[in-house]
Every structure is written in C-alpha cells, then in structure tokens.
Amino acid sequence: MNKDRTIFSQLMDYLPLKAFHRCVKKYHGHHKVKTFSCLDQFYTMAFAQLTFRESLRDIEVCLRSQQPKLYHMGFRSLIARNTLSNANEKRDWRIYAEFAQILIHQARELYKDEDLGIELDKTLYALDSTTIDLCLSLFPWAIFRKRKAAIKLHTLLDIKANIPTFIHITDGTVHDVNILDVLIPEPGSIYLLDRGYTDFDRLHTLHLYGTFFIIRAKSNLKFRRLYSYPVDKATGLKCDQSIVLSNYYAHKDFPDKLRRIKFFDADNERNLVFLSNIFTLPALVIAKLYKQRWKIEIFFKWVKQNLKIKSFYGTSPNAVKTQIWIAISVYVLVAIIKKKLNLNISLYTFMQVLSVNIFEKVSILQLVTDNDYTKLNAGLSNQLNLFD
C-alpha cells in the first residue's frame, strides 16, 4: 500500500483533512490566496519541524532540492521563503490552533487507557508555564524585562496521555495565576498546581465548579486546624488535617474547609505541604498524585529539545503562534501514529528516525521494525523521553 510513497506523505495520511479544511473555511484562510494554500503552509511548516530546519531559506533549499517528489508528498505549490513568510504573517493562527485541538482530542482517546500507576477514576491534569526567551529588538511586542523579550506557554497537560489539552500563549509579563481566569474548569477532574497559582479566590471558583485541586502551600500560610486524621508516618506522611484559613482576606476568598497534608520527600530530603479540596482519597494517594506533576516539566524540556519553538521563522505575534501551534500539531500527530502502529520505541527515537528518512519510499512500520532501535534507547540517558 505504501510502495513508492515517501515517509512524509504517509505521515500526512493520518491528518483529518476534512476537519482541517473546516478550520480554514471558518477563519477565511484562503481569502485572496491564489496558489500557496493553507495546507501547503501546514505541510511546509510540518516538514520544517520534522527535519529541524533552521530558517526560511533552509526550508526553501531543502524542499526545492526534492522538487520532483513534492507533488506526490502533497505539495501543490512552489515553495518560496517569501511566500511562506507572508503566509505565516497574514493567515490567522487560530486555523492551526483549532486543528491542533482536533488532533489532541484524537490522541487523548488513544491514550486514555494508559497505566498511571495509581488507581484513579478521575482525569488528572498538571497546569504550568514555560518561558521562551526572545530578542527584544526583533520581538518588541513580547515584553518581559527592560532589555529582554519572552513569551510564555501556559499549558494544561493530561497526565495519563502526556498530551497538552490547553495552551495559552502570552508575553512574559503575564503571571501564571492569571491563566486560571482563562481556563475553563472541567468538573470532576483533578488539577495539580504549583505555589505560583496560589490565589484563594480563583481556587474557590474551581471548587464551586466541582473541580478538585492539589497545590503546594506557601510557608506563611495561616490556618486553624479543625481535625487531625491518623497517618502512618512510616510512609513519609507527617500529618493529615482538615483546616480553615484564618487570614481575614484568605478566609473571605475561600470560606470552605481545606485539607492540609504534610509529607516528607525522602529522595530530596525536604518537607512538602499540600492543600487540597479532596477529602475522599487517602493522604498518601494525594501525595503520590502530586508527584505526577513532574511530567509537565519533562514535557516542556522535551518540546524545547525536539521541536522548533526556541527560534522562529517570523517575528510577528501571528507568525510565532502559527509556528507553535503547528509544532504542537506535529508532536501530537507523531504520538498518534506511534500509538496506532503500536511502536515499541520512545517518541524521541521515532522523531529522530523520521527526520533523516523523510524522503525515503518505505513504509513507516518497516522503517522502524527493520532496525532494532529499542537497543539505542539505553544510550540516550541524557535525553528526555515521553511515551516509553
């Protein structure tokens, strides 16, 4: 079936093109477009992500060197750096943001039965942000500090699937806690939050929506203990308490009771204090759930290492957001393909193999299974692997 078809065209076969065209139509992506379509733009930027291209000229030279193969890879226009630059600047980034959400929905369905290691019938999310430094002279709109520019990727990660379900891009000055105003709470789910999200008014809004949260407590927290539950200190638990906030303004913002759990982290030799509105789970389970939050840190590091989002092909807000959302789409697409083909290799290895074989005419499954890549994973201890 895949005879005489390139690896790239086989990857693009997994895209829901009808959904893509609906997104293009919704945001008028082809208004005054004569030749270089939105799909051509997506394919070109996806190629750049998969092969780690450094610039627009780099993309143009590489694709033009393979001109006879481009039509069968799905390209319908000549690739020119000025045309691509103009498309990134002018075409609405929401086309690719909405399409990424469609891919995310597919990926979450595929990975929903992954083993979390903890019996849990609720969806577990981690909310955090990562900062991408930029040059202030090139990105004056991305204000961060007096002589520095940056953007923030505020991300909600589905812990079980390792798939980002919500991404909000802002300049570097926006504080993390403000994203709680943008986020639409999902009733019945559990959100893992760092101390930077401590705002009891916003946390109470989550509580009223029927959403659960686990957050690190600040050291200056003032509270009144209502009840202490028995704990097994051999497990690392120090205390499990039911409390109310005693500070006037904090209590006004969050008048309901909270659960306070103190846990000794033996690996790092430090005490951790958690606040939560969950009273139905054992204290040790809550501590173990919060430990899952490290996955979002791994996700950010992995994305920065393996996707082209630290340097950009355009300098406008639209171009930056377009590149980020297409990068996320590529990440999710590769995760979908890995799951559907049941490949027993890390996502890092899979993307590296794809990057140097993108023009090869062999099936993806054969490309991976004809070589024992699983043995290579042991030598990549300094790399960050997801979906192992």
Alpha-helix residue ranges (DSSP H) falling in the chain: 7-12, 17-26, 38-51, 56-64, 67-70, 81-90, 94-111, 200-208, 248-253, 283-291, 294-306, 317-340, 347-356, 364-369
**Where in the sequence of the chain do the CATH 3.90.350.10 domains occur?**
124-298
The pLDDT of residue 262: 95
Confirm if 150 and 172 have CB atoms less than 8 A apart: yes
CATH T-level assignment (fold) for domain 124-298:
Transposase Inhibitor Protein From Tn5; Chain A, domain 1 (3.90.350)
Q: What is the average pLDDT value for the chain, to the nearest integer?
A: 89
Check pLDDT > 80 for residue 377.
no
Confirm if 387 and 338 have CB atoms less than 8 A apart: yes
For 149, the token pair is 């520019």
Q: What is the pLDDT of residues 10-53, one digit of tens each?
A: 999 999 999 999 999 999 999 988 889 999 999 999 999 999 99
For 260, the token pair is 């306070």
The closest of 277, 274, 195, 276 to 237, measured between CA atoms, is 274
Tell me how far apart the alpha carbons of residues 235 and 265 are, in angstroms, rounded to a whole number. 10
Tell me how far apart the alpha carbons of residues 148 and 150 are, in angstroms, rounded to a whole number. 7
For 231, the token pair is 């704990």
Tell me how far apart the alpha carbons of residues 327 and 100 are, in angstroms, rounded to a whole number. 9
**Number of helical (H) and strand (E) elements in the chain, helices listed first:** 14, 10
For 16, the token pair is 């829901």
Tell me how far apart the alpha carbons of residues 71 and 286 are, in angstroms, rounded to a whole number. 53
Band of residue 372 on the pLDDT scale cut at 50, 70, 90: low
Band of residue 139 on the pLDDT scale cut at 50, 70, 90: very high
Q: What is the pLDDT of residues 52-92, one digit of tens each?
A: 998 999 999 999 998 888 888 889 888 899 999 999 999 99
| Global pTM value | 0.88
Q: What is the pLDDT of residues 186-244, one digit of tens each?
A: 999 999 999 999 999 999 999 999 999 999 999 899 999 999 999 998 999 999 999 99
| Percent of the chain whose predicted confidence (pLDDT) is above 90 | 68
The pLDDT of residue 76: 87
What are the CA-CA distances from residue 69 to residues 9, 48, 204, 360 (Å)?
10, 16, 57, 10
Task: Look at the block and give the residue holding tokens 């019945």.
Answer: 188
The closest of 127, 8, 132 to 70, measured between CA atoms, is 8
CB-based burial label for 47 (10 Å; 0-12, 13-18, 19+): buried
Q: What is the pLDDT of residues 261-304, one digit of tens each?
A: 999 988 888 999 999 999 999 999 999 999 999 999 989 988 88
Confirm if 250 and 200 have CB atoms less than 8 A apart: yes
Mean pLDDT of 328-356: 90
The pLDDT of residue 381: 42
Check pLDDT > 70 for residue 177.
yes
Check pLDDT > 60 for residue 1.
no
The pLDDT of residue 379: 43
The pLDDT of residue 115: 78
Band of residue 375 on the pLDDT scale cut at 50, 70, 90: low
